[in-house]
Structure formats: C-alpha cells, structure tokens
A and B are shown apart, each in its own frame.
Chain A
Amino acid sequence: MAVETQMEDGKPVLEITGLEKRFGDVTALAGLDLQVFPGEVYGLLGPNGAGKSTLIGSILGLVRPNVGSIEVFGMDARQHRSKILRRTGAIIESPAFYPYLGGRDNLKVVARMIGDVPKGRIDEMLELVGLSGRGNDKVKTYSTGMKQRLGLASVLLGDPDLVILDEPTSGLDPAGALEFRKLIRAVATEQGNTVFVSSHLLMEVEQMCDRVGIVKLGKTVAEGRLEDLLQKGSAVSFRVDDAERALALMREKGLQAGSDDGDGMVWAEINEEDAGSLNTALVGAGLEVSLIEERRSDLESFFLEVTGDGEEARND
C-alpha cells in the first residue's frame, strides 16, 4: 500500500505529548501521548468515557488542556490554531448542520467559512459522497447515513491534509457503516489525506486503520501498527490428548499458558521458532500432539487485555 511507505518515515502530522485535561474533579485526559504519521489512517480506540472526544476537542482548540503539548504539522496547536485548522477537516461526534438549509447550502456556508474553495468543489464533494441528487433537499429530511456522508463532504471541502473523525459510523446501520468505512479508507488511499478516527468499535478500527492507539482512563495504553500490536500477544496452540498434563508441563517451563474450552487445545505464549522444542517436550512427556498452529490474538482480546474490562464509566 502506497501510504505505508510514507508512514513513520516522515515527521508526524500530529504529535501529542503528556496531554492532561480535567473538568472539575473529573480527569478526562491523564498524560496522553500519540503520534500520527502522514498518509495513514490512525484509529484511536477506547471504551466510552476514555477521553477520545476530549482529545479531539483539544486538537481542534475547542477544549483547553491543562498540561501537555499538541503539535499539528509541526506547529503548536495553541499558538497556530487558525493555520492548523485551515489544513484540517473534522467531524466532532455527529456532524452538525443547519437543518433548514439544503445539503448544498450547508456546504456553501462551510466554503465561505474556509474561504478559497474552488468553484465546482461543492458539486464534486456531493458527487464523491453520493449526494449529488439530494443536494438541494433540506438536511432535516436526510437520514443519519446521509448526514454522515454530508459531514465527510464538508470535511473534505477544503482539501485538508488531516481529517479528524470522531465516532464516524455512530448511528449508522451495518450497510451504511460498511459503506462509510470504505469511503474513509478511499479518502486516505486515493486522496492521500491523513485520517485520524476515534471509535469504540474494534471491528471498525481493524477494518480501516493502519495504526492504532488504545486509550484507557485518558492515557495511551498501547500504540502501534495493528499487526505489530497483535503480534505482541501471539502464541502457539497445540491440540493434545491430555490438556491438563500439557498445561502443567508448559507452566513448569515458566511459560504463560492456557487452554481453550473443550477440544483439547492448549496454548503457550512463545515465538513460532520455539514451537518445535515445546512440541518435542510434550511428545517426550508421552503426550500425543495432533495439531500445532499459530494463535494470533485478535484485536478484541488485545483490547481487553490492555484495558482490563475496558468499561470504566466516566464522562468524556
């Protein structure tokens, strides 16, 4: 993928260091760090109340952090807010529009705010998101999916270098969500925009993103390429005739091990290269091994592992 060559080679488009924000007694961000590189789709994953919307609000200058720094395009976000936002398009939570205006007029309002939007760009964006036939209809008649698509059109209107989307598929039906994810992916791959997406949907992040940051209680608890993060939790599974004995042997060797329910599968957290010697040890102990396979953890397991139960309820 073309974007991969850009990722992590250049300076980060967005770099956040030690960000803290408190609302009264509630700590929304507690020293959050992350980096987003040019051309990638970065997924910010966290349970509800983890601080995702506060973080996005801070990046956009809507929320003033108490401590920490935010650099966008190498500029301090507080000092160069206007310059930064001229190169940024964002939807915070759900896209907001003037309901009494048509889709086209809403984009006209946005275009006047941004300034320097080329003639014809509005129609181009309506076409891109599949709303050219409904551009003159009032937004209050739009479905949630249409509003999300119009939101994306408004974000892309100024041809931003950085696109920030907060829970972009929230409220969409499965088909609409899938279509929207494809659209976001296309924005990065075809138009070359860097995309920063927050979501609490694991599957969504897994489908869309090149890199992921996981936040919990306002802190980044894991960050990296999706495949690297999943690799970190990798293990090898063995199907054996006596799971209990196999587990005891593995634990004797000091390995993290466990068993999947029922079918005699046991696993140990080892590299692929060590699978042979462990197999030899199991066979040497009189166990019959009928299957050996890599046991990659999925994002859900990884997420639960790094966030605990992941559902600490706090206001975002």
Chain B
Amino acid sequence: MISLISAEMLKIRKRRASWIMFGILLAFLAFFLMGIRPIIAADDGRNSVEFQLANLVMRFPAGFGILVRMVSEMGQFILIVFAGLVVGSEYGWGTVRQVMARGASRNRYLAAKLAAILVSIVMGIILAMIVGTGFMLIGDVLVDSFDPKIPAGFAGDLAGDTLRTLGVLVVFAGLAFCIAILTRSVAGGLGLGLGWIFVEIICTGIFPLFGRIWRDISGYFLTNLSSSLMAANQLDVGQFFGDGGGGGDDGGPGGGGGRPVFDVEPLTAGLLLALYLVILLAISVWVFNRRDITAGG
C-alpha cells in the first residue's frame, strides 16, 4: 500500500499542473497578505481608514484569519481541479487499465489515490501557511507595522481553524474524486465539480425568494455547510467586525468573509460534511468496483 501511495505521490509531485494550482493560491496570498497594504498606503496614505482596516486584519498574526479563509475558499476550487485531474487523467490517458493490469486491487488503488490527495492537501496547507506567514511578515515590514506579538491561545486557535479548513477541503476533493470516477474524464470531473459549486451558489441566492424553508434547505449545501463549519474559526476576519465569526447567531445569512452563514451549528455542519464525504466515497468505490475497465476507461 505504501508503495502504491508513493507511486501516486511521484505522479502528483512531477506534474506541473499540481504546482501551477498551488502557485495560483500563493499568488493570491501574496497579493492579499503582502501587496494590498502598500498599495492602499500609496493611494490613500497610512492614516486613512482603509489602510487602518486593512492593516488591522492583514498584519501578523491577525492575518492568519484571512490566510485560513483564503486557503479554505480558494482551496475548494483548486481541490476540485486538482482531484479531478488526478483521477480523471488516468482515464484519459488509459493508465487506469495499465495500473489495474499490474495487480493492484481496485480498492487499494482508490485508497492510494485518496491517501495521496490527502497528503497533498495537508502538505499544501502547511506550505501555504508557511509561505503565507512570510508574505504577512513582509507586508508588515513594507508598511512599518511589524510587531510579532502572539496572543495567548493563538497556536490552539490556529490549529483548530486549520483542521476545519482541512476537513472542508477533503470533502471538496471527495466531490471531484467521485465525479471524475463517475464521468471517467477530466472534463467531467472539473466541469461537473465546478458546476456543482456554482449551482449551489446560484441556488443559495435564489432559494430564499421562495420562503424560509427553501432558504433553510440551501443551508445544507456543501458550500454553505463549509461556511457554517468555518464560522467556528477563532481567527476569522469576522472577529474584528463582530458579524458571523461566532457561527451565524443572527439566524440568517451573514458571515464576515463573503459567503452566508446559516443556522447550522458548526458541529452539525462538520458531521454533515463527513456524511457527504462518506456518501461520495461509497459511491466512488461501488461504481469503480462494479464497472468493467474497457477501452477508454
């Protein structure tokens, strides 16, 4: 099993697309954590409200709230693409047949792929945290607000927030994984995976028009459950503005980072996301085991 996972890791590590996607995330982190404050300072001056607000949420260590949120929310899209590529390409290139013909059991193959994706997510989050911290500190130096004081309990809060981010990303990777197996293609995995997110976002906007019950239903979408779970983050940007950092206690869509937060408690949201993941993986395993692997997948 270890050798199967290491084969998967080799494929991921040597694939340029993996690094391009990670690079996109880093580029956004660099812009937000390092670039925005100097730009605002140059445009509006350091005494402006805009700069003060930006400096409040983007400086070290408060900027971890933005860092975690960006990794979580951008990561969802990146993971859809990444997992879709990792699984779907095997069908496109016909390598899935060759791998199966090597004697790997179908379950072990899927487990190795999932494990490799999980390892990649963990490594990606750790790397993003390290590089993001660097961006944050450089940003502080650029605007002369470097003050590396770390509040008590910060490490525990960061660990909790990061674990929630990991949980959310694993579910979205599971979604792309499942769709790529069902459609046996990269295009299907990416198209339907990203389409799923967009449809959820559109429905989240439309459903409240039809009444309270529809709005509540949309709270159980993957994206909204993720927001509900992430609302429990202790380092979230919302803490600076008092709107949604504590879990949507206003009873309606709110939240500090863009997406609405519903009435679903973070713990419930976490459990429901886990259930989503189990269902997605069960479908993947069942379909993959049941199908013949013929030409073209």
Contacts and interface: CB of A to CB of B under 8 A. Distances in A.
A61 interface: yes
A222 to B, nearest CB: 26
Contacts of B131: none
A82 B108 CA distance: 11
B101 interface: yes
Contact of A100 (B14, B101, B103, B105): B14
A60 B93 CA distance: 19
30 contacts: A54-B294, A62-B100, A62-B101, A62-B292, A62-B293, A64-B292, A83-B103, A85-B101, A88-B103, A90-B98, A92-B97, A92-B98, A93-B97, A96-B93, A98-B93, A98-B95, A99-B93, A100-B16, A101-B11, A105-B14, A108-B10, A109-B7, A109-B10, A112-B4, A112-B7, A112-B10, A113-B7, A113-B104, A114-B102, A114-B103
B6 interface: yes
A85 B3 contact: no
A97 B93 contact: yes
Nearest to B15: A100
Given A85-B103, A96-B95, A113-B3, 12 more contacts: A60-B100, A62-B293, A63-B293, A81-B105, A95-B98, A97-B93, A98-B11, A98-B93, A98-B95, A105-B10, A108-B10, A114-B102
B211 to A, nearest CB: 45
A57 B294 contact: yes
A199 interface: no
A148 B105 CA distance: 25
A53 B295 contact: yes
Nearest to A316: B295
Interface residues of A, number: 38
B100 to A, nearest CB: 6
Contact of B101 (A92, A94, A105, A108): A92
Given A97-B95, A105-B14, A110 B102 contact: yes
Interface in B68-94: 93-94
Contacts of B103: 81-86, 88, 113-114
A63 B101 contact: no
A120 interface: no
B6 A112 contact: yes
Contacts of B119: none
B223 to A, nearest CB: 31
A316 B296 CA distance: 12
Q: Assign chain B's interface to a size class.
A: 20 to 34
Contacts of A112: 3-4, 6-7, 10
A284 B97 CA distance: 66
B101 A60 contact: yes
A115 interface: yes
B99 interface: yes
Interface string A61-92: 11110000000000000000111111010111
Interface in B273-297: 292-295
Contacts of B97: 57, 62, 92-93, 96
Interface in A93-134: 93-101, 105, 108-110, 112-115
Contacts of B16: 100
A115 B3 contact: yes
Interface of A is mostly: mixed
- Top 7 A-B residue pairs of the complex, sorted by shortest distance between their CB atoms: A85-B103, A96-B94, A112-B7, A62-B293, A63-B292, A60-B101, A96-B95
Nearest to B95: A96
Interface string B1-25: 0011011001100111000000000
Contacts of A64: 292
Contact of A93 (B3, B6, B94, B292): B94
A113 B102 contact: yes
A84 B100 CA distance: 12
A122 to B, nearest CB: 13
Nearest to A151: B98
B4 to A, nearest CB: 6
Contacts of A113: 3-4, 7, 99, 102-104
Contacts of A54: 294
Nearest to A112: B7
Contacts of A82: 103-105
Contact of B295 (A83, A93, A97, A105): A93
A29 to B, nearest CB: 12
Contacts of A94: 94
A84 B99 CA distance: 14
Contacts of A86: 103
Contacts of A60: 100-101
Contacts of B105: 81-82
Contacts of B98: 90-92, 95-96, 110, 154
A86 B294 CA distance: 20
A141 to B, nearest CB: 15
Interface in B111-135: none
Interface string A145-173: 00000000010000000000000000000
Contacts of B99: 113
Contacts of A101: 11, 14
Interface in A7-23: 23
Interface in B161-186: none
B20 to A, nearest CB: 12
Contact of B292 (A57, A83, A90): A57
